[in-house]
Amino acid sequence: MIPVDGGSLVLGLVAVVAVVSTVWSMGCLLWVTRRRKGVADHTPPVTIYKPLKGLDEGLEENLRSFFQLDYPIYQLIFGVADANDPAIEVVRKLQAEFPERDSLLVVGTPAFGLNPKVENLAAMEHHRKHETILISDSNVRVRPSYLRETACYLAEPGVGLVSNLFAGVGEEDAGAVMENLQLNGFIAAAVAGAAVMRITCVVGKSMLMPVAALEAIGGLAAVRNLLAEDQAIGVRVRQAGYSIRLSHHVIDNVNARRGFQWFLNRHSRWYKIRRRMALPAFLAEPVANLTAVGLIWAFSGEVGIAWGGLALLVGLGMLRDAFQTRWLRGSFPRLRHLLFSPAKDILLLGVWFDAIVNRRVRWRGHSFLVGRMTRLRHAPATRQVRRRVRRVRQIRQRQALDRPASPPLPMPSSRVTGSESGPGEPAT
C-alpha cells in the first residue's frame, strides 16, 4: 500500500474538484446552447450601436454581417471618435453597398467619461430611433438569424438584458491560438455555468436591452468611468428588478493574428475586472486551471499516482478546449494548436497572481488604475518611466553647462516694423 501524506490528499481532493467543476460547466454549455423549440417570434425594432476604433481583424466582413441580418426593422449606427480613423472608409463602402439599409456614421465624441467605449456610445445615443438597443463590438461576426434568435428572449416578462456566448475563430498566430482556446474552453464554460446558476455574467460583445432598462439604472452616465461597463450594466439591471438571459445563439469573435503580449494584456485586464466584480469566483479560478493543479500535485510529493493525475488533468483540459471549440463554431482546432492548451494555462496562472498585486491596466492606448467596481482613474507614470525622464533631464543639464557661451549679437542701428517705412524712419 502506498503511503499518502496529508498534503497529497488535499491536492488530490483539489484535483477531483477541478475535474468535477470542468465536467459540470461543459454540461452547462451544452444545456444553454441547445436548440430551443417553441420560442416566440418577437422582433421589436432595434437600434444597433457599433463603436469602432481602427481596423479590427476582418472588420469589413464583421460589419457586413450586420448589414445582412434577417430582421424586419433595425437601425445601424457606427461611431468613431477620430475623423482620421480608417474604419470610416470601411463603413462608407458598406453603406454604398447596402443603400437600402438604415445606417448612420457618427464621427467625433464629446467629453463624457474615462471609458472611451461608453463615450462613443453616448455620441451615438442621440441618433437612436428605436426603444430597443443592441450594443455590439466591432470584432464579432454574426449569422443572419442572430438578432431574431436573440430578441426572442425579450418576449419573456421582466427580461431587461440578453447577451450571447461567443466563439473564437480564425486563429493563425500563437497568441490568437491561445486566445481562441481560452474563449472556447474556460471562458465559454464559465459564462454558461453562471447563466445556469443565475449569476450575473455579462460580456459586452453583444448586449440587447430595452431602453427603459438602461434608463432605470441611470443610463450610460452611470458607467462612464468604469472599465467593466458591460458587467456593471448587468449587475445594475438585475438590481433594478429585471432578469437577464443568455441566448442560445453563438456569435463569432475573430482573432487571427495576435501576439503573446496582446493575449496576456487582454486577460490581465479581464482578471482585474473579475477580481473587483466577482472576488469569490476570482479566488477560486486557480482550482479550475487544470494544468496548474496537475503540476502542483505532481511536484508536491513522491506519490506516483500524482503524475498520472497530471496527465489526466492536462488531457481533460485539451479535451474540453477541443470539444467545446467544435461545439461552438462547428470545427475542431488543429491538433498542433491543442499543444498550446496547457501552455496558456501556465501563463494565465502568472497573470492571475499579477491581478492580485497590480491595479494598472493598458487599454486603448491609455494607462489606468482600476479601483472598486472597476472605477477608472488615470495612472501616474511608472517608476521606470520617471527614472528615465530624470536621466534625460540630467543629460540635458550637463550638455547645457558644457556648451560654450555664444557671443552677443550686435545691436541693430534701426528697427523697421512697418512694411512701408523707409530706412531709419519710424513705422506709422
Least confident of 133-142, 146-155, 234-243, 298-307: 298-307
- Average pLDDT of the chain to the nearest whole number: 89
**Torsion from C-alpha of 136, 138, 144, 150, nearest 10 degrees:** -20
Answer yes or no: are the C-beta atoms of 118 and 364 closer than 8 Å: no
- pLDDT band at 104; cut points 50, 70, 90: very high
Closest listed residue to residue 68, CA positions, set 2, 141, 128: 141
Longest CA–CA separation in the chain, Å: 114
Cα–Cα distance, 112 to 106 (Å, whole number): 16
Q: How far apart, in whole angstroms, are the C-alpha atoms of residue 25 and residue 111? A: 42
Contact indicator for 238, 244 with CB cutoff of 8 Å: yes
> CA 245 to CA 200: how far, in whole Å?
10
Which amino acid type is present at position 45?
P
The CA-atom distances, in angstroms, between 408 and each of 7, 386, 404 are 82, 37, 12
For residue 378, list its beta bridge partners: 368
How large is the average pLDDT for residues 277-293?
Answer: 93
Q: How far apart are CA 214 and CA 222, in angstroms?
A: 10
Q: What is the pLDDT of residue 42?
A: 94
Model pLDDT for residues 330-381, shown as the tens digit of each residue: 999 999 999 999 999 999 999 999 999 999 988 777 788 999 899 998 877 6
Whether the pLDDT of residue 277 is over 80: the answer is yes
For residues 225-248, give the mean pLDDT: 97
Among 85-89, 134-138, 140-144, 304-308, the least confident range: 304-308
Q: Cell 479560478 maps to which residue?
A: 285
For residue 308, what pLDDT is reported? 81
Residue 421 parent element (H or E): none
DSSP letters for 151-198:
HGGGGSTTEEEEEEEEEEE---SHHHHHHHHHIIIIIHHHHHHHHHTT
**Which residue type does 235 have?**
V
**Whether the predicted pLDDT of 400 surpasses 90:** no
pLDDT of 255 above 50: yes
pLDDT, residue 157, reads: 94
Nine-digit cell string for 366: 491609455
For residue 384, the model assigns a pLDDT of: 61
Domains along the chain with CATH numbers = 20-279 (3.90.550.10)
Ranges 10-19, 74-83, 163-172, 253-262: which has the least confidence: 10-19
pLDDT at 232: 97
Q: What whole-number distance in Å separates Cα of residue 384 and Cα of residue 81? A: 31
Quick one: pLDDT band at residue 65, thresholds 50, 70, 90? Answer: very high
For the segment 35-41, the average pLDDT, to the nearest whole number, is: 74
Grouping H, G, I as helix, E, B as strand and the rest as coil, residue 217 is coil
Residue 41 scores a pLDDT above 60: yes
Q: Residue 421: is its pLDDT beyond 90?
A: no
Q: What is the mean pLDDT of residues 257-286?
A: 94
Q: List residues bridging with 104 in a β-sheet.
A: 77
Q: Is 227 helix (H, G, I), strand (E, B) or coil?
A: coil
How confident is residue 141, by pLDDT bands cut at 50, 70 and 90? Answer: very high
Res. 57: pLDDT tops 80: yes
In the block, which residue shows the cell 513522491? 302
User: What's residue 301's pLDDT?
Assistant: 61
CA-to-CA distance for 150 and 43, rounded, in angstroms? 9
Q: At 93, which amino acid appears? A: K
> Which of these ranges, 147-151, 266-270, 420-424, has the smallest mean pLDDT?
420-424
**3-class DSSP string for 302-347:** CCCHHHHHHHHHHHHHHHHHHHHHHHHHCCCCCHHHHHHHHHHHHH
